[in-house]
Amino acid sequence: MARLTLTINGEVRSAEVAPGAFLAEVLRETFGLTGTKIGCNEAECGICTVLVDGVPVNSCIYPALKANGAHVQTVEGLAQNGQLHPLQQAFIEHGAVQCGFCTPGLLMTAKALLDQNPNPSEDDIKHALKDTYCRCTGYVSVISAIRDAAARLRGEPPIPPALPHTREPLRFVGRPLPRPDAVAKVTGAAKYTDDYVFPNMLHGATLRAGIPHARIKRIDTSKAKALPGVVAVLTHEDVPGSKNHGLVYEDWPVLCYDKVRYVGDAVAIVAAETREIAEQAIKLIEVEYEPLPVVDDPVAALAPDAPKVHEQGNLLKHIHVEKGDIEQGFAEADVIVEGEYQTATTEHAFLEPECSIGRVTEDGRIEVYVGSQIPYADRRQVAKSLGVPEEQVRIVGTLIGGGFGGKEDIAGQIHAALLAKVTGRPVKMLYRRSESLIFHPKRHAVKFKVKVGAKRDGTLTAMRIELWGDTGAYASLGDKVMTRAATHASGPYEVPHVKIDCYAVYTNNVPAGAFRGFGVTQSAFAIESAIDELAHRLGISPIEIRRKNALRIGSVTNTGAVIRESVGLLECIERVEQALKAEGTPWVFRKPEQPNKVYAWGFAAAYKNTGLGGGAPDRSEVEVEAFEDGTAEVRTSAAEIGQGLVGVLASIAAEELGVPYENVRVLLSDTDRTPDGGPTTASRQTFVTGNAARLASVKLRERLAAVAAEMLDVPVEALRFEDGYVRYNGKAVRLAEVVRQAHAEGISTRLSHLYEAPKTQPLGTGGDMHFAFSYAAQAALVEVDLETGEVNCLKVISATDVGRAINPLALQGQIEGGIVMCLGNALTEEFIQEKGVPYTNRFARYKMPSIRHTPQITSFIVEDPTAEGPYGAKGVGEISSIPTTPAITNAIFAATGVRVRKLPVDQDALLRAMRVP
Amino acid sequence: MREAYLIPETLEEATALLARYQGRARVVGGGTDYFVDEAHNGAPVLIDVTRLRGLREIREEHGYVFIGCGVTHAQIAASALLQQSGTALVEACGQIGGPQVRNVATLAGNIAHALPAADGTLALLALGGEIQVAWHAEGELRAEWWPLARAFKGPGQSAVDSTRQIIAAMRFKPTGAGEASAFARVMRPQGVALPIMGVAARLKFDAEGRIEAAAIATGPAGPVPFRAVQTEAFLIGRMLDEATLDEAAQVLLGEVHVRTSPHRATAAYRRAVLPVLLRRALTQCATRAQRTLAIHER
């Protein structure tokens, strides 16, 4: 150990540290300053940025001893005397805080910039923040927040955020209210799972298979158990309950017993006094494998002689969608285009790696602290594998540093619980980025065969589409994702004759599951490319062909549903078309000062279901309580993954109860204290849990109204709940007093409501497979370097039909973030595997969009309300992340004549294709 | 397990420490490559050479531009002296990583890593750079200047033994009147974060505008950073016109051996962009050299 003395945020601190320790660890663990986050341990993501003697550095690989004698500034030191720094204030007001995990890094990098440059241009900001990643915002709000803060620091008037035009707001609903958790997130006070420390806590580590397919012959843990500091080493023999887990199919071993089916499979787990010892112990476990042949392609996996990943065969599910008569449809066509498309496996790259803490309570129950998208599913799976009743398990949701679908499956929850149960001590199971990358389910790579027929005027007559989705070693949500991919594969169009066959197939690749867009991101690339090709062949504009075929009132979808309301697609198309006209550039153009570049626009449309659909019961329960101090609390187990659910629920409760927004607390995801809000998936929370919160609040208001009516001696119907008062003509009583009175009368001011979304129909049975759809249209402007094949996306014009904007600020953040994520899907992102072995085993090998990729985004909100939605709202989480990819690839076609058939766009292949005469 | 992280204050002290640990210690600069590469992160003792007296700055010395081993990429990117006398280095170092990495990563570390396409290394090679290698022998500090090319044995393999020797400094002759340098590269937005191809050039023009001296470095074009001597020879005595640029590209393509590297680039792509990068670097040199003359005449 060596002595380290440094000044942190103005305060001299000193400690003995290990010579190998890095600054981030020391700040977090030795000094308890957990505002500094660790995202990658490889100086790639920048979220661990702190200032050492005024200079921003990646503290995750900055030797702690190198900071000896230095002045270190962390996010905790930004606010002075309880006063937020202008950067913090601006981040909140511009919505530049979503999941909040990268926020400290962004703030500190921006602080260093403004210290040097009080008036940075957008380019300066992009230069300075180039390597500080954010996965939620898409950076647009980050840029505007920094410019605003710079103005404030210069003593100039603030530059407010540019918000989209939306409908006239109600009292709270429809207003750009700041997130309730924003202050905690900008000050570093916000706690994510790894920020929790329990006395006497052990640290866990997991032995991963390391090979994609093998039979386990022998596991010997004796050397690991003998290592001093090791408290427990567990294998499948130590799993008391169900040996498998799974959200839909229980096919995923808690700890592998007969075979390993992918590199990231868990074989053994260790709990030790320190993380280093646990990791060392893992290396001492001997496993003898008999390697088995590897299958890494979904089409190859369907061959009769393909290696079997699971005994029952490699086909997880065949999904069939049929409407009309496909032969007749193609016979009626004047032109037919055919093409094959392929999308890449992609990685969520949420900046917070998975972490679970297991703990046994004094009364012998098991608690798991985790940032999960489906707390009640965690509870069920943990209980089942531990062999205890569900009531014996409590899932305590912490803040979540991004999810995007990647935190729906079990990660370390069962392992942490098991180790805690065996050792009787709290156990933290934190994944390093390298482990997170090879372990958790990805976006499905999908192969497509697409055949589309149309009349000369562009009217679609038929679509025949085949899809093969690589679901990897375990089902995860593979059949659901591929069902969504299949049912959305014909695009947001009315097509009289459709036949779709989709295969979700097991391979020895990393499993694939939920990822924002849920299969539709993949389908949209294929079908929107084909529609573009069709327009080109027919000499019709890409906008016109979409307008002609767009779903509208009375349309029948490919699954036989009749669209009866809330279909804003035509309006979306028109909004983007008008904005394109206002741009005033031709569809394809050159600039004299850039002779080696060509510029072109591309267009795409999309739709996405809200809610689970397909006949699955879609429920959410919310509890609302009013207190004697005039505040209220909303409780449900639903995940806040950055999307802004806490703000949505708070504004809905405030709206219905007539209390100030600040007086509403939202408690999420504690299975002992919050009822089940259902999974945070399928863009469903605003609709389903939003409705539950609304109806629970209405019920509570009615209960309180009865009390207030007596207190005021007025008729109950005429009461108004506003500003924390209940009013009638000139009379008023404070809500707090009404609550006190209710309690005095023995009336509870706590109640819950279980909301059930409208019933849907299973695929193949006709009727409504979904209760609502969101729609979008986007145009993208690209710049292609004809000499190098390099592609940049410069502008995106977007219009999104969300039914109703509950919070325009949060909504804008969702849309911008979705666009930039989908831009990454087009241009940068690929999780590379070679015969089942991830080449992408660190962040340096996975490029997600940085602030430098952020295009200029113009975003229009279309509000075509859905009758059942809260205030007309429907899902927004996924829709914006669907059309950007094809808009970009269609623009590349317009620019170069090269049709992109494989994602991501590869400048190497593009340049070579351009050179083919 | 790391036993010590030592931060000596003088070169003498640093070399003596290395000698004392007899191979159990190794030199580290900013560590932005070293600490990421877990496989090579095993030395029990690290000697941090970023705080050595006199070796944390960029200065002019004995007709050379001198860069100490503690100098970071950020310092280089912000150096007015280098902007004027070694522009290629400023361009190359300004593109590496983000500010957080540039604030700690050193050029000496970049050279020690010995990658065949390292941006800073290519730029220094084209500038005709040298490195000063220092070690401890018979109780005293020894040092000698090597031509930069001598530092590289193979991809990732340095001729400088980091358990025994320190790259104490780098130097090159500043570009003068009628002379300039430039750097151009292509990155790939997917896959591994390494450049696909880089070209650095240093050109000197005579009064008639003919090329009087030329140095061109490119990579990856072999196991070590590549000096394109045939292309350099071809350029001497020529005007930098379209024909020269086209022909020089052909000469360059004739002398390099580019490969397909999985997840980075195909050989065909590299051959397609190499002429583009050469043209960009050479024309930049010409434009900048012209500017030095204009300044001179004024």
When divided into structural domains, chain A yields a total of 5
In a domain, A787, yes or no: yes
Alpha helix (H) ranges present in A20-102? Answer: 23-25, 86-93
Residue A63 in contact with partner chain B when CB distance is under 8 A? yes
Contact across the interface for A2 and B99, Cβ inside 8 Å = no
Domain of residue A655, residue span: 619-756
Q: Do residues A421 and A386 touch, judged by C-beta distance below 8 A?
A: yes
Lowest mean pLDDT among A132-146, A403-417, B32-46, B253-267: B32-46
For residue A464, what are the CA distances in angstroms to A146, A327, B183, B207?
49, 10, 51, 69
Alpha helix (H) ranges present in B96-153? Answer: 99-102, 107-113, 119-126
Q: Do residues B123 and B93 touch, judged by C-beta distance below 8 A?
A: yes
CATH code for position A802:
3.30.365.10
Residue A847 in contact with partner chain B when CB distance is under 8 A? yes
Enumerate the residues of chain B whose CB falls inside 8 A of the CB of residue A837.
Answer: none
- Pair A163, A55 in one domain: no
- Pair A746, A791 in one domain: no
Nearest CB partner across the interface for A56, out of B2, B99, B189 = B99
In a domain, B131, yes or no: no
Residue A754 in contact with partner chain B when CB distance is under 8 A? no
Q: Do residues A11 and A27 touch, judged by C-beta distance below 8 A?
A: no
Q: Do residues A326 and A464 touch, judged by C-beta distance below 8 A?
A: yes
- Pair A119, A45 in one domain: no
Question: d(Cα B33, Cα B121) in Å, to the nearest integer?
Answer: 14
Q: What is the pLDDT of residue B188?
A: 85
Residue B100 in contact with partner chain A when CB distance is under 8 A? yes
Residue A793 in contact with partner chain B when CB distance is under 8 A? no
Confidence of residue B296 (pLDDT cuts 50, 70, 90): low
In this structure, the strands spanning A71-73 and A2-8 are parallel
In a domain, A342, yes or no: no
- Pair A767, A752 in one domain: no
Burial class (CB in 10 A: 0-12, 13-18, 19+), B137: exposed
Q: Do residues A145 and A91 touch, judged by C-beta distance below 8 A?
A: yes
The A720-722 sheet, strands edge to edge: A720-722, A725-728, A731-734
User: Can you tell me the mean pLDDT for A812-822?
Assistant: 98
Tokens for A163? Answer: 């918000």
B168 contact partners, CB below 8 Å, separation of at least 6:
B11, B49, B52, B55, B68, B69, B108, B132, B133, B134, B143
In a domain, B172, yes or no: no
Alpha helix (H) ranges present in A333-398? Answer: 375-386
Q: What is the pLDDT of residue B297?
A: 58
Contact across the interface for A915 and B272, Cβ inside 8 Å = yes
Nearest CB partner across the interface for B35, out of A61, A68, A112 = A61
Enumerate the residues of chain A whose CB falls inside 8 A of the CB of residue B5.
Answer: 2, 19-20, 63, 65-66
Question: d(Cα A256, Cα A382) in Å, to the nearest integer?
Answer: 16
- Pair A247, A359 in one domain: yes
Confidence of residue B39 (pLDDT cuts 50, 70, 90): low
Tokens for A914? Answer: 């351009």
State the smallest CA–CA distance between residue B146 and chain A in angstroms. 29
Tokens for A260? Answer: 């390993």
Question: d(Cα A470, Cα A462) in Å, to the nearest integer?
Answer: 26
> From A791, which residue of chain B is nearest by alpha-carbon distance?
B189
Q: Do residues A614 and A643 touch, judged by C-beta distance below 8 A?
A: no
| CB atoms closer than 10 angstroms to residue A238 | 17
Residue B44 in contact with partner chain A when CB distance is under 8 A? no
In a domain, A311, yes or no: no
Residue A4 in contact with partner chain B when CB distance is under 8 A? no
In a domain, B224, yes or no: yes
- Reply yes or no on whether the pLDDT at A245 is more than 70: yes
- Return the C-alpha torsion angle B50, B52, B54, B57, nearest 10: 10
Instruction: For A568-623, write each residue's pLDDT tens digit.
Output: 999 999 999 999 999 999 999 999 999 999 999 999 999 999 999 999 999 999 99
Q: Do residues A350 and A404 touch, judged by C-beta distance below 8 A?
A: yes
> From A40, which residue of chain B is nearest by alpha-carbon distance?
B36
Enumerate the residues of chain A whose CB falls inside 8 A of the CB of residue B196.
Answer: 908
State the smallest CA–CA distance between residue A848 and chain B in angstroms. 8
Interface test with A, best of B100, B106, B197 (most A CBs within 10 A): B100
Residue B94 in contact with partner chain A when CB distance is under 8 A? no
| Interface size between A and B, measured as CB pairs under 8 A | 117
Instruction: For B155-195, write each residue's pLDDT tens digit.
Output: 999 999 999 999 999 999 999 999 999 999 999 887 777 78
Q: Do residues A177 and A807 touch, judged by C-beta distance below 8 A?
A: yes
CATH code for position A111:
1.10.150.120
- Given A164, A191, A218, the domain boundary residue is A191
User: Can you tell me the mean pLDDT for A128-136?
Assistant: 97
Nearest CB partner across the interface for B101, out of A43, A788, A907 = A43
In a domain, A341, yes or no: no
When divided into structural domains, chain B yields a total of 1
In a domain, A585, yes or no: yes
How much of chain B is helix, strand and coil, in % rounded to 5? 35, 30, 35
In a domain, B284, yes or no: yes
Q: What is the pLDDT of residue A501?
A: 98
Question: d(Cα A193, Cα A195) in Å, to the nearest integer?
Answer: 5
Residue A275 in contact with partner chain B when CB distance is under 8 A? no
In a domain, A626, yes or no: yes
Contact across the interface for A19 and B100, Cβ inside 8 Å = no
Q: What is the pLDDT of residue B207?
A: 93
Domain of residue B242, residue span: 179-297
Nearest CB partner across the interface for A61, out of B32, B262, B265 = B32
User: Can you tell me the mean pLDDT for A828-841?
Assistant: 97
User: Can you tell me the mean pLDDT for B132-149?
Assistant: 97
- Pair A540, A658 in one domain: no
- Pair A211, A235 in one domain: yes
CATH code for position B282:
3.30.390.50
Q: Output phi, psi for A107, to 5 deg.
A: -60, -45
- Reply yes or no on whether the pLDDT at B298 is more than 60: no
In a domain, A145, yes or no: yes
Enumerate the residues of chain A whose CB falls inside 8 A of the CB of residue B101.
Answer: 43, 58, 131
Question: d(Cα A347, Cα A440) in Å, to the nearest integer?
Answer: 9
Indicate the DSSP class of residue A75.
G
Provide the residue type at A120 as one letter: P
Q: Do residues A721 and A706 touch, judged by C-beta distance below 8 A?
A: no
Instruction: For A90-120, write each residue's pLDDT tens digit.
Output: 999 999 999 999 999 999 999 999 999 999 9
User: Can you tell me the mean pLDDT for A451-473?
Assistant: 98
Enumerate the residues of chain B whose CB falls inside 8 A of the CB of residue A829.
Answer: 190
Indicate the DSSP class of residue B239.
B
Tokens 């991830």 belong to A838
User: Quick one: how far is CA A332 from the chain centroid?
Assistant: 42
- Pair A234, A364 in one domain: yes
Q: What angle do CA A73, A76, A81 make, to 5 degrees?
A: 105
User: Quick one: how far is CA A16 from the chain centroid?
Assistant: 40
- Pair A607, A633 in one domain: no
Instruction: For A487-544, write each residue's pLDDT tens digit.
Output: 999 999 999 999 999 999 999 999 999 999 999 999 999 999 999 999 999 999 999 9
| CB atoms closer than 10 angstroms to residue A345 | 22
Residue A913 in contact with partner chain B when CB distance is under 8 A? no
User: Can you tell me the mean pLDDT for B137-142?
Assistant: 95
Compute the mean pLDDT over every residue in chain B, rounded to the nearest whole number.
Answer: 95
> From A47, which residue of chain B is nearest by alpha-carbon distance?
B100
Confidence of residue A305 (pLDDT cuts 50, 70, 90): very high
In a domain, A314, yes or no: no
Residue A908 in contact with partner chain B when CB distance is under 8 A? yes
In a domain, B29, yes or no: no
Q: What is the pLDDT of residue B295?
A: 66
Question: d(Cα A469, Cα A53) in Å, to the nearest integer?
Answer: 51
Question: d(Cα A377, Cα A490) in Å, to the nearest integer?
Answer: 32
Nearest CB partner across the interface for B104, out of A57, A827, A830 = A57
Nearest to residue B31, comparing CAs of B14, B10, B46?
Answer: B46
Enumerate the residues of chain B whose CB falls inside 8 A of the CB of residue A123.
Answer: none
Q: Which helix (H) or strand (E) is A795 found in, with range? A: strand A791-801
Question: d(Cα A481, Cα A681) in Å, to the nearest integer?
Answer: 11
- Reply yes or no on whether the pLDDT at A904 is more than 60: yes
- Given A430, A463, A482, the domain boundary residue is A430
In a domain, B158, yes or no: no
CATH code for position A276:
3.90.1170.50
Residue A65 in contact with partner chain B when CB distance is under 8 A? yes
Residue A686 in contact with partner chain B when CB distance is under 8 A? no
Q: What is the pLDDT of residue B41?
A: 65
- Pair A414, A470 in one domain: no
In a domain, B53, yes or no: no
User: Quick one: how far is CA A152 from the chain centroid?
Assistant: 32
Residue A22 in contact with partner chain B when CB distance is under 8 A? yes
- Pair A607, A739 in one domain: no
- Given A21, A44, A77, the domain boundary residue is A77
Q: Which helix (H) or strand (E) is A276 found in, with range? A: helix A275-284
Interface test with B, best of A908, A910, A914 (most B CBs within 10 A): A908
User: Can you tell me the mean pLDDT for A400-428?
Assistant: 98
Contact across the interface for B186 and A904, Cβ inside 8 Å = no
- Pair A487, A584 in one domain: yes
